[in-house]
Amino acid sequence: MNVVAVQDVSKTFGAGHTAVTAVDHVSLNVDAGDIVLIMGPSGSGKTTLLSMIGTLMSPTTGRILISGQDTSTLAPAQLSRLRLQEFGFVFQTFNLLSALTAEENVMMPLITAGVPRKEARAKARTALEQLQLGHRLRNLPRDLSGGEKQRVAIARSLANDPRLILADEPTANLDAKTGQDVTLLLCETACRENRAVIIVSHDQRLRTAAKRVITIEDGRLTAEEAGDHNLNCRMHPESVQS
């Protein structure tokens, strides 16, 4: 099932002689169960592309379809609802609220989406237990290691059962082993649930999780190859989509 369709998308900042094209006529399809790693140097346009796929930024030209919906036709309130229902975001800076426990941080977007508190708590606990954090439910972010904070952020991205996980440099603030371990855990969990994952990174070690590796340079997709994909993706029967 096609989750993302990027159709001849460009993004230009500024105008006239000061205009800078960050993404240049990019087309890309991502299906359920795909794990796509987009790699490129700083300034290559990978984060801008991810932001447009996540509807955090609008393309200058072209269009992006999420589960068949043309995002350019949606009002701001509809885009907000789409993000809450369809996407899970993982950022390099964790973005955890310091006054909330791990469990409460995972519950927050669910409650915002209208999920009853009791159900939100159950979903949060399930997601944290999947990420091996069942013993950290009551801990504040200050009591967690960097790897644990990122796993809480991953649990938050999974808790609302999104079709698509978007991860922006998820290993950037972690040491090499921890960064690789938590990203592999994210991809394995998502893969078992038949979710699509798009990761932007410059970290070559993440190739071990990817099914597809795409290179972006100067805003253009320049190459695509198979990733190493050494994961256990045995799916739960209820996760298989027709």
Domains in the chain, please, with CATH?
31-55+73-239 (3.40.50.300)
Measured on CA atoms in the order 155, 160, 163, 165, is the torsion positive or negative?
Answer: negative
What's the rounded Cα separation, in Å, for the pair 34 and 190? Answer: 9
**Helix orientation angle between 102-112 and 117-130, rounded to the nearest 10 degrees:** 130
DSSP 61: E
pLDDT band for position 233 (50/70/90)? Answer: low
Side chain identity, residue 207: R
DSSP 74: S
Q: Where are the alpha helices (DSSP H) in the chain?
A: 46-53, 76-86, 102-112, 117-130, 146-158, 176-192
Q: Please compute the mean of the pLDDT values over residues 133-143 and round it to a whole number.
A: 96
Residue 93 has a pLDDT of 85
Whole-model pTM over 0.75: yes
Residue 124 has a pLDDT of 96
